[in-house]
Amino acid sequence: MAGGDILPSWAVKRVTEREQWGSRIGFIMAAVGSAVGLGNIWRFPYEAATNGGAAFLLANFVAVLLIGLPAILAEFTIGRRAQRNVVDAFGRGGRAWKAAGALAAVTAFWIVSYYSVVGGWVLRYLIESPTGAYFGEPAAHFESVAVGLDAALYAAAFLLITVGIVAMGIERGIELATKIMVPAIVVLMGGLAVFAATLPGSGAGYEYFLAPDFGYLADNLVTLIPAAVGEVLFTLSLGSGIMITYASYVEDAESLVADGGAIVVVNTLVGYLAGLIVFPLLFAQGVEPGEAGAGAIFVSIANAFQSLPAGELFGVVFYFVILIAALSSSISLLEIPTAYFVDNFDAGRPVVAGALGTGAFLLGVPTALDQATFEFFDSFASEVMLPTGLFLVTVFVGWVYGREAMDELGEGVREQFLPRAWLWYVRIVVFLAVAMTLVLSVTSFAGIELF
């Protein structure tokens, strides 16, 4: 389009140059890459362990179907409709709504600042695996590397890779990287699960993970439901504008329902696969999952490698999988604010990504130097920011976008009743579930006992 004479240059850039995914499968892979991450491999087994094992699995499965899928579709419709970053996408609902978009972008920036610290731990464990450096005293080793200057340096290295991929752009950076990473994650995790199955004593792990205790389920519904819903939001990357931004790079009117369904199914299966690795390994070591705590993958599991045949190799594969899973999520986090600046200012993507990466590093330094700060960052994000973000999404889709969201979902979908049913479902069921999660998690964050 030779519109340079009528339109100012920034407008031309908007109309002609906004990037798109190269293919539908590329979009799906990028979204799966964002969803599959530390949430599946580290948080999911850990949450399952503290919430009754298989009972949690069951509650989680129900929450994925009833809340996760319709909620991801809500974010998709906002993004694809707007073809803009999260701030401007919300901004279509009026000036005040821009603040909701800004909150999402800030949330993503906040999360990537400490997520990269965990990414740094993983990078370090990967590098240390060939020599078994953490074999001797796993707990002491973890304590010595998790906090301190080293932790900040490794976080910087992790962020550097993240920035590099985001700087390359949507199709040649994020899409290309996740098209390689996601299949690799699935194949390598499958291999690890098979290997874990061969360990003596692993059987108890399956029983713990797969046989629900219905008594526990009935007695603990009040804590189980918010934990299960919260895990769904975290693992599907909902509430921070990621699925909005990623869908904004989709132009074709294909069925979002089919794409969302595929993403949710793969993400859930990877979470279960992680459980099939982590629990047999823990039980084979005689470690009760509840005791393992948040450091499980760095302490109990690292300890398990020591006694395994070819433990060094096992360690390399294990931490490599976690590293690429974490990277494919951190690039999605950094992309959210990046998209905003690239859309709105005449700055190159590499400059924007580099500046934001530097900012995220600086914000994250305190979390690398102090464990309590780290925990504050994590719980503030998952208990306050993400549920608030998704709550705003449901209100926006339900009551501001309404019809438009319905039309957008209807594109490429044959069942004509579906969009309307979905909209009402979002307005009532998803809205109430997210509102309840928000209340329960904000009160738990503030230390208030409701029940």
Q: Is 245 in the site for ligand PHE (CB under 6 A)?
A: no
Residue from 37, 138, 226, 280 that binds ligand PHE (CB under 6 A)? 37
Shortest Å distance, C-beta 337 to ligand PHE: 13
Size of the site for ligand PHE (CB under 6 A): 15
Alpha-carbon torsion, ordered 23, 28, 31, 32, to 10 deg = -140
- Which of 37, 101 has the CB closer to ligand PHE? 37
Taking a C-beta distance cutoff of 8 angstroms, is the pair 323, 184 a contact? no
Residue from 28, 38, 196, 327 that binds ligand PHE (CB under 6 A)? 38
Q: Is 178 in the site for ligand PHE (CB under 6 A)?
A: no
Q: Is 437 in the site for ligand PHE (CB under 6 A)?
A: no
Q: Is 39 in the site for ligand PHE (CB under 6 A)?
A: yes
Shortest Å distance, C-beta 166 to ligand PHE: 14
What are the distances in angstroms from CA 418 to CA 74, 252, 259, 422, 436?
A: 13, 19, 15, 6, 25
Q: Is 40 in the site for ligand PHE (CB under 6 A)?
A: yes
Shortest Å distance, C-beta 235 to ligand PHE: 4
Shortest Å distance, C-beta 250 to ligand PHE: 18
Taking a C-beta distance cutoff of 8 angstroms, is the pair 142, 134 a contact? yes
Shortest Å distance, C-beta 242 to ligand PHE: 5
Strands in 299-388 per DSSP E: none
Among the residue ranges 30-38, 136-144, 303-311, 434-442, the one whose residues contact ligand PHE (CB under 6 A) = 30-38
Distance of CA 401 to the CA centre of its chain: 25
Shortest Å distance, C-beta 134 to ligand PHE: 22
Site for ligand PHE in 213-242 (CB under 6 A): 234-235, 237, 240, 242
Q: Is 333 in the site for ligand PHE (CB under 6 A)?
A: yes
165's tokens: 């991929």
Q: Is 182 in the site for ligand PHE (CB under 6 A)?
A: no
Question: Which ranges of 168-211 would DSSP assign to H, the alpha helix?
Answer: 176-197, 203-210
Site for ligand PHE in 250-289 (CB under 6 A): none
Cα(247)–Cα(225) distance, integer angstroms: 29
Cα(153)–Cα(138) distance, integer angstroms: 21
Shortest Å distance, C-beta 274 to ligand PHE: 10
- Which of 199, 263 has the CB closer to ligand PHE? 263
Please choose, from the candidates 392, 400, 407, 399, the residue with its C-alpha nearest in 3D space to the C-alpha of residue 427.
399
Shortest Å distance, C-beta 16 to ligand PHE: 30
Go through 84-115 and write b for each residue having 16 or more CB atoms within 10 A of its CB, e for each that does not.
bbbbbbbbbbeeebbebbbbbbbbbbbbbbbb
- DSSP for 247-278, please give it: HTT--S---HHHHHHHHHHHHHHHHHHHHHHH
Q: Is 111 in the site for ligand PHE (CB under 6 A)?
A: yes
Q: Is 388 in the site for ligand PHE (CB under 6 A)?
A: no
Binding site for ligand PHE (CB under 6 A): 34-35, 37-40, 111, 234-235, 237, 240, 242, 329, 332-333
